[in-house]
Amino acid sequence: MSNTDNKDLDMQVHRAGATPAIKGPADWFTGNVRIDRIFNAPAPSRIGLAVVNFEPGARTNWHAHPLGQTLLVTDGVGWTQCEGGPKTEIRPGDLIWCNCGRRHWHGATDTTALQHVAVQEALDGSPVTWFEPVSDEDYLAGPVKKD
């Protein structure tokens, strides 16, 4: 049997717009967040991704990923911070690695929208553990690392 005879071996194309966008749940985000694409690869893969859009002032809650997370900024300007570290500006083309199990947050600046692609793996079926919201005081605290 050739590879063309087995549909399970075919590449899958998920067309833009084929999945409706969803509002980012208030249990996970502060502000207006739209998740345009969510994809979880079939087993045995553990990888998933989402395209996430943050309006100015919007951000994730504190959260951690058991196997880490990679962000690719595709539009706008945002901020990200690991607990105990500096708040850092992120821009289109930036790749951000959020270390395994490390509490962090990310989102738009207070004046500029942000879009990023988030990629993470699930451990025992879970890609993320959500914690409390990032307070306005912490979100707006400076200085912001820009290099």
CATH number for position 95 = 2.60.120.10
In a domain? residue 144? no
Give start and end residues of each alpha helix (H) in the chain: 136-140
Name the nearest CA neighbour of 56 among 107, 112, 116.
112
pLDDT one-digit tens code per residue, 81-137: 999 999 999 999 999 999 998 999 999 999 999 999 999 999 998 999 999 999 999
In a domain? residue 5? no
Q: What is the pTM of this model?
A: 0.89
Name the nearest CA neighbour of 116 among 54, 59, 56.
54
Residue 9: phi and psi, rounded to 5, are -95, -10
In a domain? residue 140? no
In a domain? residue 89? yes
Range of the domain at 24: 19-132
> What's the whole-number mean pLDDT along residues 20-45?
92
In a domain? residue 55? yes
Total domains in the fold of the chain: 1
> What's the whole-number mean pLDDT along residues 20-37?
95
In a domain? residue 10? no
Measured distance CA(20)–CA(14) in Å, rounded:
12
In a domain? residue 6? no
In a domain? residue 3? no
Cβ neighbours of residue 64 under 8 Å, at least 6 residues apart?
A: 101, 102, 103, 104, 128, 129, 131
